[in-house]
Amino acid sequence: MDSRNYLKATRMLDYENSSIQKLIEKRGWKTLPEFEQIKAIYNFVRDEILFGYNVDDDISASKVLKDGFGQCNTKGTLFMALLRACGIPCRVHGFTIDKKLQKGAMTGFVYKNAPKNVFHSWVEVYFEDKWYELEAFILDKKYLEKLWDINSTCTGSFCGFGCAVKDFKNPVIDFNRNNTYIQSEGINQDFGVYDSPDELLKEHHQDLSPLKRFAFRHLGRHLMNRNVRKIRNYKR
């Protein structure tokens, strides 16, 4: 496989940015074997970049790192940038998911006015001659553990609060030479794979009117982030 297209820096995958380079050096990721690199970067993006909603899907990896939070698309951008900076080929797979998956994180008028199909993506990593589909970096473990507490009687499938899985109590969220999923059961449209999020967003993006986009940026996402924080800080 010619991996050059899967290692390039782009406007969004700005891994040459000093903040990203300093992080990689501080964590010592480049000194690790490739498998351990992928695991360490995956775990960092999953648990240290908290689940939350950024201003837009097209922000750069360095902006996601600065924010310290993100959702499927933005955390995926940072994940890809960190992987490529360490010489690990990766690509992005675009979808839409049913907005029912977001109910609970989205509430009230925000949920009512949200589009039925929500733009979504996961990251595919090339390792040991195989592509792995990695999605479960989206929800940090603390948030997911609180979802388990709040929905303690739930067994089997679950859809809501940013999660859509077949087995709610035992989702596959750790990478150990396997695919990981946390929202895949909500997918309702497949856009295929792209070399970078920049390329994906040229062809597909969240379809919002200018008014709704303004409302999301300046009000909706803040209400959603407040809901997410409430869940993460939940106490019995």
d(CA 166, CA 138): 17
Eight-state DSSP code of residue 203: H
Residue 223 has pLDDT above 80, yes or no: yes
Q: What's the Cα-to-Cα distance from 70 to each of 59, 61, 179, rounded to whole Å? A: 10, 10, 21
Q: Over the stretch 38-96, which tens digit does the pLDDT of each residue have?
A: 999 999 999 999 999 999 999 999 999 999 999 999 999 999 999 999 999 999 999 99
Which amino acid is present at 102? Q
Q: Which domains does the chain have, with CATH numbers?
A: 11-232 (3.10.620.30)
Select from 132, 137, 147, 157 the least CA-distant residue to 6.
132
pLDDT digits (tens, 9 = 90+) for 127-177: 999 999 999 999 999 999 999 999 999 989 999 999 999 999 999 999 999
Q: What is the pTM of this model?
A: 0.96
Task: Please state whether 68 falls in left (phi above 0), alpha (psi between -120 and 50) or beta.
Answer: left
